[in-house]
Amino acid sequence: MSFGGYTAPLSPDGRAGIVPPPPWHYAGDFLIAEYRTDPEAVAALLPDELDPAEDAGAVAAIFADWQSCSADLHELADPIQSQYHEFFIVVGARFRGEPVSRCVYIWVDKDFSMYRGWIQGFPKKLASIHITRVFAAGKATPRLEAGARFGATCTANDRQVARMVVTLEHLSETGPRVNDPPMHNTRHFPAALGSSPAVFELVRAGGRDREVSPIWEGSAELRLYDDTLEDLMAIRPHEMMRGYRFSFGYTVDGVDVVAQHRHPQRGASKVNAGAAATMMRGTEQA
Amino acid sequence: MSFGGYTAPLSPDGRAGIVPPPPWHYAGDFLIAEYRTDPEAVAALLPDELDPAEDAGAVAAIFADWQSCSADLHELADPIQSQYHEFFIVVGARFRGEPVSRCVYIWVDKDFSMYRGWIQGFPKKLASIHITRVFAAGKATPRLEAGARFGATCTANDRQVARMVVTLEHLSETGPRVNDPPMHNTRHFPAALGSSPAVFELVRAGGRDREVSPIWEGSAELRLYDDTLEDLMAIRPHEMMRGYRFSFGYTVDGVDVVAQHRHPQRGASKVNAGAAATMMRGTEQA
Amino acid sequence: MSFGGYTAPLSPDGRAGIVPPPPWHYAGDFLIAEYRTDPEAVAALLPDELDPAEDAGAVAAIFADWQSCSADLHELADPIQSQYHEFFIVVGARFRGEPVSRCVYIWVDKDFSMYRGWIQGFPKKLASIHITRVFAAGKATPRLEAGARFGATCTANDRQVARMVVTLEHLSETGPRVNDPPMHNTRHFPAALGSSPAVFELVRAGGRDREVSPIWEGSAELRLYDDTLEDLMAIRPHEMMRGYRFSFGYTVDGVDVVAQHRHPQRGASKVNAGAAATMMRGTEQA
Amino acid sequence: MSFGGYTAPLSPDGRAGIVPPPPWHYAGDFLIAEYRTDPEAVAALLPDELDPAEDAGAVAAIFADWQSCSADLHELADPIQSQYHEFFIVVGARFRGEPVSRCVYIWVDKDFSMYRGWIQGFPKKLASIHITRVFAAGKATPRLEAGARFGATCTANDRQVARMVVTLEHLSETGPRVNDPPMHNTRHFPAALGSSPAVFELVRAGGRDREVSPIWEGSAELRLYDDTLEDLMAIRPHEMMRGYRFSFGYTVDGVDVVAQHRHPQRGASKVNAGAAATMMRGTEQA
């Protein structure tokens, strides 16, 4: 008799684990808005091991509408095990002089994807996320054509996080740029006791068997909101760049550890700064 | 200044209404399993004005993955206002000698669709619903081809309602049959006081500008569960027929009233029968 | 054999109905913030039959944490059938010269309560709602004492609706005032076709066997948000009044019809005003 | 400037972390049903380091209705950051000869609690969970008295997990027994690549400043369901023991590592056993 699993809950045949073992196959539709914000605010979100990018204030706000599965594809016929939506914010950076990207915030609407994200260095929280889709029949759908409008919304912790609209103009020659370099995230898992994490690794995301549809490009509108638990006003849009819509698939076997983080990071204290996030800004709104 | 709206909440410009005025455009993907159950149980779900169908025990279990919008299409760029999933159970019947169909139970995952359903005679409750989708890139998607498996699940009120898998075999020559005749549902709205409803109309659903994709047909598996608030065991599958998968779009302007229901229906009392639904069947499961 | 039910879905024994027949018993905890806003904006939310209140800009923002059941109490042992949260906005008015109140917007997190609300003239939409609770043990709870802070949040349609904090000071001599006069809401149900509603009644809410705990009073903070589908900025707080926290229970048998509304209301057109609500205000936020 | 946090997402002041640093204060209401199942099935859920308990088939099914916060209590006034519901299954065991307990499965309805659980060795998945509450006014509430009925339900991944009813009889002299010994769970976090976990520790849960209300005891009904992703039929009730209802609070600073797990556990392979969980059992139900 065996006992275990790739993830807990451990069980006699491993099937109870919240995430099945890799490889993980992904198929998704993307809606991206690129913009520029305060370069200092982006730098403040990078660990010591990463330096600012050349276009240091460039940010990609990304909505993704996913279906994923493991090697035997069994999740596809049980879609609550395979479908989820994401909203994430990606910035540029450099690692040992080479361009990289980094996911600084990310939200998702399923538990298996949330935990699979933490394994790979994506610090996912739960959210409600909606993204316009294309259907094969009927009038209640945009088509992939100039003038079509795609929208998306994200709300987490009873707070509005983001709203985006991309209006398609033409097929893109470049595609999105900010999230193009290899993503360098941080795998972080606290210790049983104390403030030094048990796992604290800078990792490079990879993936194989990449497949991408033609990429539509157009104008982008994006609003980030001012009452979130994260400080999104620090990285709000100062200048909108372009929007993109496309389909993408790939397969992931895990991530590569490229460095161990020093800790604590720049003297981050254990002080709970959360209290500031609960101040009401309401009575002065009039 | 105006004040009102097609639906409440009424407001100075009407925009706050939970449902915008028709026409309503719909685009959706359907997953259907047809089966036979006890004809007596189907007859027990028909109002006096409807007679049993020729194939009196035939039932269609239908999952639908929808996007909808009103005349100016504005909901499409704000998808939480347009997207929803449904699971519904349709039986055959006859009205004045002609074949009709009738939705006896239905669940949905958005409020606007729930209330728009009640307006049209669909007695919708809320549920969590998931349906396998087709993506344009990647391995984590079925293709529309023989052998592809599409699944769906529905849970409501912390109870499992239904799970379905359809395995595609070939394009269908007939398409689904049970829900093909015009649907005859009941618009019902209680009075402010007392047991006689204020609205109690037999209505015929219509729709225009219908568009349908090629219809795939295959084998179907379906399980209905035994602990729901509705008596689904009475209409559980005795014999599975075929499964279907296709895309469909149309436009609805409202429904036609074809009769006023007599009431009370066959002596239905005001007695609260809900208690029976809460009996625990658990301790005897071993 | 009977067939029917107090509400649809109609079924052989009536048990499938989304709402059981009255009486409905309620037990709940309330968190209220009273404030003043633009009296013109309040007047714009009143039907012709109601006149402005004496304190014409007074508003009550109310969070309620409910448990309810029908006559045989069976829902209490199956709490998904009995528990829900609400956020609603109540204004004052006069009807035939007498002070009344009116619920202009309301959100809830369960389907049975949503539909039971429509029956009684509460135009409920779905939302995610959270309200601080008092527990009998442990440090992670406020006590009913001076200095205790109670908070609440409401999010609907991926939009932030409201956030409130009340800090208790002392037992109240008056209790809340705005929602004290009898509530006069509108029962509204659209016709099968066309724009004139099938049901359009001004109704007075009542209730019996009222029971209320001591009422705590204190300072109140409230923020309404600017990106909702309803125009909440029109009735945002200009001046905060007091906050209240208490428990309340009563029993409802239905509502009394006091007038038929004339329609259409002040020339409300069928024009879909929703498009305005989808304009993005994001890119100019910097 | 600091950068970091107790948990990711790391941020300039640490406030964005999904879980704030300990101590964590908890206040909750518990509903417990104890029962006996197959001792072999319980043994199959224990890691090598733990031996079966004296009453080797004893199990506690536990619903908990929680409010929690960190040191400065700020979450209490923002209840979406503090409230959550849990359902968990606890078995007895022995470690180095001493009685211990172990949580083998657990579900929760908030992300912060899910991840805080993983840090402490609770392998939490998301679920919808409801638990009967006691209110201070009104008829729609049980009182803490003989004959009162408390119920609870749990649904996860569109599957029904558990339904429980406890009917109070009298104050308990013993309280619940199965979960009384110190809980010994497993902290598990996968490696970036490969099948050997990066963290795999047997930990003992503690806690201080424990406070408990009087404990009510009574009869218990429990149903576990047959279509879950975990094999709950293996540990379904063979014999019901007693039910309990009480309030409890404590404070947690972390957990103590008492052993490193050997791995792999008893030859657990990487084989994905999930496919078995997706077989349909529906067509043979008639």
Provide mean pLDDT across the span B113-139.
Answer: 98
The runs of H, that is alpha helices, within chain C are 39-43, 111-120, 274-277
pLDDT tens profile A111-125: 999 999 999 999 999
Using a CB-CB cut-off of 8 Å, the residues of chain A touching C151 are: 278
- The span from the first CA to the last CA of chain C, in angstroms, equals 67
- The answer to whether residues D103 and D126 touch, using CB atoms and an 8 Å cutoff, is no
Q: Is the pLDDT of residue B268 over 50?
A: no
Q: Residue B265: its pLDDT value, please?
A: 52
Structure tokens at C131: 């309200």
Structure tokens at B87: 């699971």
Q: Residue A3: its pLDDT value, please?
A: 82
Provide mean pLDDT across the span A10-31.
Answer: 97
Q: Count chain A–chain B contacts defined by CB atoms under 8 A.
A: 153
Number of CB atoms found within 10 A of residue C250's CB: 20
Confidence of residue B264 (pLDDT cuts 50, 70, 90): low
Q: Is the pLDDT of residue D134 over 70?
A: yes
User: Which residues contact residue D82 at a Cβ distance below 8 angstroms, ignoring those fewer than 6 apart?
Assistant: C132, C140, D67, D68, D69, D75, D76
CA distances from A276 to A45, C83, D27, D55, D77 (A): 18, 32, 23, 50, 12
Looking up tokens 């316009």 gives: A132
Domains with residue ranges and CATH for chain A:
24-285 (2.40.400.10)
Using a CB-CB cut-off of 8 Å, the residues of chain A touching D70 are: 272, 274
Could C138 and D25 be called an inter-chain contact, meaning their C-beta atoms sit closer than 8 Å? Answer: yes
Dihedral over alpha carbons B85, B229, D86, C77 (to 10 degrees): 150
Upstream peptide bond of A23 is cis (omega within 30 degrees of 0): yes
**Interfacial D residues in 42-71 facing C (CB < 8 Å):** 66-69
Distance CA D259, CA C24 (A): 55
DSSP string, chain D: ---B-SSSSPBTTSTT-SSPPSPEEEEEEEEEEEEE--HHHHHTTS-TT-EE-SSTTEEEEEEEEEEEE-TT-GGGGSGGGTEEEEEEEEEEEEETTEEEEEEEEEEES-HHHHHHHHHHT--EEE-EEEE----SSSSSS--SSTT-EEEEEEEETTEEEEEEEEEEEEE-SS---TT-SPBEEEEEE--SSSSS-SEEEEEEE--EEEEE---EEEEEEEEE-SSSSS--GGG--SEEEEEEEEEEEEEE--EEEEEEPPSSGGG--S--THHHHT----TT--
Q: Is the pLDDT of residue D123 over 90?
A: yes
SS3 readout for chain B: CCCECCCCCCECCCCCCCCCCCCEEEEEEEEEEEEECCHHHHHCCCCCCCEECCCCCEEEEEEEEEEEEECCCHHHHCHHHCEEEEEEEEEEEEECCEEEEEEEEEEECCHHHHHHHHHHCCCEEECEEEECCCCCCCCCCCCCCCCCEEEEEEEECCEEEEEEEEEEEEECCCCCCCCCCCEEEEEEECCCCCCCCCEEEEEEECCEEEEECCCEEEEEEEEECCCCCCCCHHHCCCEEEEEEEEEEEEEECCEEEEEECCCCHHHCCCCCHHHHHHCCCCCCCC
Q: Is the pLDDT of residue D150 over 70?
A: yes
Nearest one of B176, B38, B182 to B96, comparing CA atoms: B182
Q: Residue B3: its pLDDT value, please?
A: 82
User: What is the residue-averaged pLDDT of chain A?
Assistant: 93
Confidence of residue C3 (pLDDT cuts 50, 70, 90): confident
Provide mean pLDDT across the span C19-43.
Answer: 98
- The minimal CB distance from A272 to the residues D12, D21, D257 is found for D21
Using a CB-CB cut-off of 8 Å, the residues of chain D touching C212 are: 137
Using a CB-CB cut-off of 8 Å, the residues of chain D touching C165 are: 77
For residue B12, the one-letter residue type is P
CA distances from B281 to C118, D165, D229, D244 (A): 34, 11, 21, 20
pLDDT tens profile C229-253: 999 999 999 999 999 999 999 999 9
Q: Is the pLDDT of residue D2 over 80?
A: no
* All chains having 3 or more CB pairs closer than 8 angstroms to chain D: A, B, C
For residue B14, the distance in angstroms to the closest alpha carbon of chain D comes to 32
Q: What is the largest CA-CA distance in chain C?
A: 67
- The answer to whether residues D15 and D112 touch, using CB atoms and an 8 Å cutoff, is no
Confidence of residue D275 (pLDDT cuts 50, 70, 90): very low
> Is this prediction's ipTM beyond 0.90?
yes
* All chains having 3 or more CB pairs closer than 8 angstroms to chain A: B, C, D
Looking up tokens 């879609």 gives: A79
Using a CB-CB cut-off of 8 Å, the residues of chain C touching D212 are: 137
Tell me if chain D has a CB within 8 Å of the CB of C250. Answer: yes
Return the axis-axis angle of helices B111-120 and C111-120, rounded to nearest 10°.
Answer: 50
How far is residue B192 CA from its own chain's centroid? Answer: 27
- The answer to whether residues C225 and C232 touch, using CB atoms and an 8 Å cutoff, is yes
Distance CA B48, CA B200 (A): 13
Distance CA D84, CA D86 (A): 7
pLDDT tens profile B133-151: 999 999 999 999 999 999 9
pLDDT tens profile B38-94: 999 999 999 999 999 999 999 999 999 999 999 999 999 999 999 999 999 999 999
- Check residue C49 and give left, alpha or beta (phi > 0: left; psi -120 to 50: alpha): alpha
Could C247 and D132 be called an inter-chain contact, meaning their C-beta atoms sit closer than 8 Å? Answer: no
Q: Count chain C–chain D contacts defined by CB atoms under 8 A.
A: 153
Provide mean pLDDT across the span A269-274.
Answer: 42
Number of CB atoms found within 10 A of residue B182's CB: 16
Q: Residue D280: its pLDDT value, please?
A: 56
Q: What is the largest CA-CA distance in chain D?
A: 67
- The minimal CB distance from B159 to the residues D160, D237, D280 is found for D160
Confidence of residue A198 (pLDDT cuts 50, 70, 90): very high
